[in-house]
Amino acid sequence: MRTAAIVGTSAAVLGLLACKGDGGSGGGGGGTAAGTATPATDALLIRWKAPAVGSVQDSVDDLVQHLTIHDPTAPDPLELTLGRHLDKRTKVVEITGGVRTKVEVTYRDASESQQVASGDDASRPLAVAGKSYLVWIEGGEGGTIRATAVDGGDVGDAERELLVEDHEGELGRMPGMAQVIVGRPWTQGQAVALADDERREVAAAMGPGTTVDGISITWTGTEAGVASFAVDMQVVRGDGADQMKTSSHAVVRLDVGHARPVEVTAHAQISGQRSGATVEGTMEAHTVNTYPEGP
């Protein structure tokens, strides 16, 4: 079984919720200056601010999955814990039409772990660990992700796979949940269920083969300039014998003044089929974004 594919499914959910990337096109509804809230304390409207070339975002992502795998060829279920840790710095290199189209990314730390119940924890660095890359999109929204080493050198297949996974849906468009949070008036405590066309947009940001069955978002309040949103989401990736489903609840925190993601904490139930085996379990995830150079 390719356990990396299971991690990738949950990583896509986390990436979407975390709104990876500093800034977007400023699209959406009107009426309020970019990065500001409406005056009423029970109402909020955030307009996304396009990032500046040279702006920097530091991100730390931690993802842990506890899985039970029922393989029909094995006598007993396999209890497995999978983890992934990414610590990276992303610098905006090019902006086109108000959205990021090229970035420089340095993976200061990148590792994954696998532990079988009652067994040793096997941890190893990922292919991108300690390396820097240029990553860009060709063809605009929905185009092809390309990457080279920061000096222009070629990247290996394992590196390319990770870079595409980490950036698909994030270049050439508004990143992640920004598509549906910004430009929309929010009433505190009122859940908003996304329409079909909005769910399709969110699915596109998560990469090929993704269907979003439902998303409900509730603005729960703002404290010290940071707005919190509760997000409940049901996602399906793949089909047939290779299909994974996640049902997640997350708290997403956004800096209202700069319209950028600060933190996401998520929990999800996982179930599905992978390479003929039945998979079920849970995911815990946490992302923290900081901006060392300020606004």
Mean pLDDT of 14-26: 52
Across all residues in the chain, what is the average pLDDT? Answer: 86
204: phi then psi, degrees, rounded to nearest 5: -60, -35
Percent of the chain at pLDDT above 70? 84
131: pLDDT strictly greater than 90: yes
pLDDT score of 49: 82
Range 130-142 burial, b when 16+ CB lie within 10 A, else e? ebbbbbbbeeeee
Q: Is 196 or 258 the better-scoring residue by pLDDT?
A: 196
Residues 6+ away with beta carbon under 8 Å from 127 = 156, 158, 159, 162
pLDDT score of 188: 97
Q: Are 216 and 192 in contact (CB under 8 A)?
A: yes
pLDDT score of 155: 98
pLDDT band at 118 (very low <50, low <70, confident <90, very high): low
Q: Are 10 and 274 in contact (CB under 8 A)?
A: no
Q: To 5 degrees, how large is the angle CA 274–CA 276–CA 280?
A: 50
pLDDT one-digit tens code per residue, 247-287: 999 999 999 988 888 999 999 999 999 888 999 999 999 99
5: pLDDT strictly greater than 80: no
- For 170-238, the DSSP string reads TSSS--TTHHHHTTS-EETT-EEEPPHHHHHHHHHHT-TTEEEEEEEEEEEEEETTEEEEEEEEEEEEE
63: pLDDT strictly greater than 90: yes
Mean pLDDT of 68-87: 94
Per the listing, tokens 């998979």 go with: 279
Least confident of 135-144, 225-234, 261-270: 135-144
157: pLDDT strictly greater than 60: yes
pLDDT score of 33: 37
Q: To 5 degrees, how large is the angle CA 178–CA 183–CA 99?
A: 50
pLDDT band at 60 (very low <50, low <70, confident <90, very high): very high
Q: Are 194 and 202 in contact (CB under 8 A)?
A: yes
Mean pLDDT of 149-177: 91
pLDDT score of 6: 53
The DSSP bridge partners found for residue 68 are 79, 280
pLDDT band at 206 (very low <50, low <70, confident <90, very high): confident
- Nearest Cα to Cα of residue 69 among 54, 61, 79: 79
pLDDT score of 82: 95
Q: Is 230 or 206 the better-scoring residue by pLDDT?
A: 230
Least confident of 49-53, 114-118, 155-159: 114-118
pLDDT score of 194: 94
CA distance 160 to 87: 18
Q: Is 229 or 122 the better-scoring residue by pLDDT?
A: 229
Least confident of 2-6, 70-74, 103-107: 2-6
Q: At what angle do helices 3-17 and 157-167 cross, to 10 degrees?
A: 30
Q: Is 251 or 38 the better-scoring residue by pLDDT?
A: 251
